[in-house]
Amino acid sequence: MSGNSNLSIIDRLAGGAEVTREEWRVLLTSLSPKEQLLLHERARGVAVSNFGQGIYVRALLEISSYCRNNCFYCGLRCSNSSAQRYRLTKEEILDCCCEADKLGFNTFVLQGGEDPKQDDAWVADVVAAIRTAYTDKAITLSLGERGEEGYRMLKMAGADRYLLRHETRADEHYSQLHPSTMSGERRRNCLRTLKSLGYQTGSGMMIGSPHQTVDNIVDDFIFLEELQPQMIGVGPFVPASNTPFEHYAAGTVEQTILVVSLLRLRFPHALLPATTALSTIHPQGMERAVLAGANVVMPNVSPMNVRSKYSIYNNKMNSGTQSAQQLALLEARLNAIGYHIDFGRGDYNEHK
Ligand code: 5AD
Ligand code: SF4
């Protein structure tokens, strides 16, 4: 394909046109360095026209490192006996929310493994307590697969948003990343349920995960077009010690921000985080993602003594731009590239 036709695909994508499978493949594999720069520029132009130069911040609480699942890529998988396990109490979670509130956050994200002790009733009680104390904050949950009744109960208790990555749309690839007890179809059904219950729903996938092909990423794009999530989280795969994939190479910053920019053009109003994984593999990962069209950062507000225990992959960042206590540093780094922190709730808004 000639450079000119690559640019015309980017133009059509930016103009809201559907692109074909083959065109997605071309965009993912055949852009010259110059064309990639142009793509990032277009994508950040779209982000700036929809969100301005403000970057939303969400306070991330990692509430349990126990998980019943055994995903091959994750350091918290149940068969990793070297993982350090902890679960926060309701009181500790409320303390973290109090801290996040004082720091200026208007969104709390409760994230954790699928911990059987934190069942629907327990989480609903915690969410209700947060909702009572902070009537105007957005409450986001990222607590894995649950039944429809559970999701409904959590919504009734006051949760507004739910993050659950589909991980990969292709069933064959899904089965290369997960044990046979897990199912991509069940995951996608959870996402559809979440949307139908009125959650602002986030999905997403890792980039550069073992056995991932270009076609897998195209399948992910097509699935996301169908799901129309409000948020899409993409970060590089990062190897985790004591997992089946500990010796696989990490995804790259270039491939990840390429996907971020393509998503920005296809989903102009979506909330796209500059992920912790990207900051972990590259010192400028956060800036690179923002300049490619990302518009959310999720600094960690978990108690300091548990932060290193939530080790889904090696060397996971939890300081600097990834720490809620260092917002001045985040602000300075955003200022240096022409952006600033936006403390708003950052609800999905198509008409902004
Ligand atoms: N590298 C990058 N991301 C990972 N996740 C889990 N393990 C890894 C890893 N090794 C991501 C998954 C999951 C989320 C909790 O973190 O996409 O949905
Ligand atoms: Fe559990 Fe999530 Fe890790 Fe899978 S990725 S083992 S579900 S914490």
Ligand 2 pocket test, candidate residues 65, 67, 313, most atoms within 8 A of CB: 67
Residue ranges in the chain whose pLDDT is less than 50 = 1
Asked whether residue 98 is assigned to any structural domain, the reply reads yes
Pick the residue whose CA is nearest to atom 4 on ligand 2: 71
Give the DSSP per-residue string, 291-344. TTT--EE--B-S-HHHHTT--SSTT---SGGGBGGGHHHHHHHHHTTT-EEE-S
Asked whether residue 13 is assigned to any structural domain, the reply reads no
- Write the single-letter amino acid at 152: R
Residue 326 in tokens: 């260092």
Pick the residue whose CA is nearest to atom 15 on ligand 1: 312
Q: What is the CATH number of the domain that holds 192?
A: 3.20.20.70
pLDDT score for 2: 54
Asked whether residue 40 is assigned to any structural domain, the reply reads yes
Give the predicted TM-score (pTM) of the model.
0.97
Side-by-side strand order, sheet with 107-112? 59-64, 107-112, 138-142, 161-163, 200-207, 231-236
pLDDT score for 352: 56
Asked whether residue 327 is assigned to any structural domain, the reply reads yes
pLDDT score for 138: 98
Asked whether residue 351 is assigned to any structural domain, the reply reads no
Region class of 20: left (phi > 0), else alpha (psi between -120 and 50), else beta: beta
pLDDT score for 349: 87
pLDDT score for 4: 80
Asked whether residue 2 is assigned to any structural domain, the reply reads no
Pick the residue whose CA is nearest to atom 7 on ligand 2: 69
Q: Which structural domain range is residue 217 located in?
A: 20-345
Asked whether residue 352 is assigned to any structural domain, the reply reads no
Report how many domains make up the chain. Answer: 1
Asked whether residue 14 is assigned to any structural domain, the reply reads no
Ligand 2: nearest atom to the Cα of 77: 6
